[in-house]
Amino acid sequence: MGVPRGGRIVVVGGGPAAAAAAVALREIGHDGGLVIVGGEPRPPYSRPPLSKAFLSGGVEAGDLALGVADAELRTGVRAIRVDLDERRVHLADGERLPYDGLVLATGTRARRPRDPSVEVVSTIADAERVSARMARARSALVVGSGFLAYELASATHARGIETTLVIRPGALAARWGMLADVLTDRVRTAGIRLVESPGGAFGDGTAITADGRRWEADLVLAAIGAEPDVIAPEYAATGYLTDDRCRLRRTVVAAGDAATVRSPGGARRDRTWTNALAQGAAAARSLLDDDAPPYAPVPYAWTEACGTEVKIAGAPPLGVAPAVIDGDLSEGRALLQWPGGAAAVGYRIPVARLKTLAAAPAPATLEG
Ligand SMILES: Cc1cc2nc3c(=O)[nH]c(=O)nc-3n(C[C@H](O)[C@H](O)[C@H](O)COP(=O)(O)OP(=O)(O)OC[C@H]3O[C@@H](n4cnc5c(N)ncnc54)[C@H](O)[C@@H]3O)c2cc1C
d(CA 226, CA 168): 17
Section 216-241 average pLDDT: 93
Ligand 1 and 44: CB distance under 6 A: no
The minimum-distance atom of ligand 1 relative to the CA of 50 is 1
Distance 255 CA to ligand 1 centre (A): 11
Q: Say if residue 56 is in the same domain as residue 201.
A: no
Q: Say if residue 116 is in the same domain as residue 104.
A: no
Q: Say if residue 50 is in the same domain as residue 119.
A: no
Pocket test for ligand 1, best of 273, 275, 295 (most atoms within 8 A of CB): 273
Which residue has the least CA distance to atom 34 on ligand 1?
A: 13
Ligand 1 and 276: CB distance under 6 A: yes
Which residue has the least CA distance to atom 49 on ligand 1?
A: 14
Range of the domain at 142: 112-222
Give the pLDDT score at 1: 60
Q: Say if residue 261 is in the same domain as residue 193.
A: no
Percent of the chain with pLDDT over 70: 98
Q: Say if residue 103 is in the same domain as residue 121.
A: no
Distance 324 CA to ligand 1 centre (A): 33
In a domain, 14, yes or no: yes
Half-sphere exposure of 66 (CA within 13 A, CB side): 24
Number of domains in the chain: 3
The minimum-distance atom of ligand 1 relative to the CA of 44 is 49
CB burial readout 90-116, b (16+ within 10 A) else e: bbeeeeebebbbbbbbbbbebeebeee
pLDDT in tens, 249-264: 999 999 999 999 998 8
Question: Rounded mean pLDDT of the chain?
Answer: 94
In a domain, 139, yes or no: yes
Q: Say if residue 187 is in the same domain as residue 86.
A: no
CATH number at residue 29: 3.50.50.60
pLDDT in tens, 3-58: 887 899 999 999 999 999 999 999 999 999 999 999 999 999 999 999 999 998 88
pLDDT in tens, 264-306: 888 889 999 999 999 999 999 999 999 999 999 999 999 999 9
In a domain, 294, yes or no: no
Pocket test for ligand 1, best of 229, 275, 312, 355 (most atoms within 8 A of CB): 229
Half-sphere exposure of 103 (CA within 13 A, CB side): 39
When pLDDT is cut at 50, 70 and 90, the band that residue 368 belongs to is very low
Whole-prediction pTM: 0.95
Q: Say if residue 205 is in the same domain as residue 230.
A: no
Q: Say if residue 104 is in the same domain as residue 244.
A: yes
Q: Say if residue 88 is in the same domain as residue 130.
A: no
CA–centroid distance for 270 within its chain: 8
User: Is the four-CA dihedral 145, 149, 151, 153 of positive or negative sign?
Assistant: negative
In a domain, 293, yes or no: no
Which residue has the least CA distance to atom 31 on ligand 1?
A: 15
Distance 60 CA to ligand 1 centre (A): 18
Cα dihedral 17, 20, 26, 32, rounded to 10, equals 20
Ligand 1 and 184: CB distance under 6 A: no
- Model confidence at 366: pLDDT above 60: no
Distance 273 CA to ligand 1 centre (A): 8
CA–centroid distance for 214 within its chain: 31
Percent of the chain with pLDDT over 90: 88
The minimum-distance atom of ligand 1 relative to the CA of 257 is 26
Ligand 1 and 51: CB distance under 6 A: yes
Which residue has the least CA distance to atom 26 on ligand 1?
A: 256
Long-range Cβ pairs for the range 321-325 (8 Å, 24+): 321/178, 321/364, 321/365, 321/366, 321/367, 322/178, 322/362, 322/364, 323/362, 323/363, 323/364, 323/365, 325/357
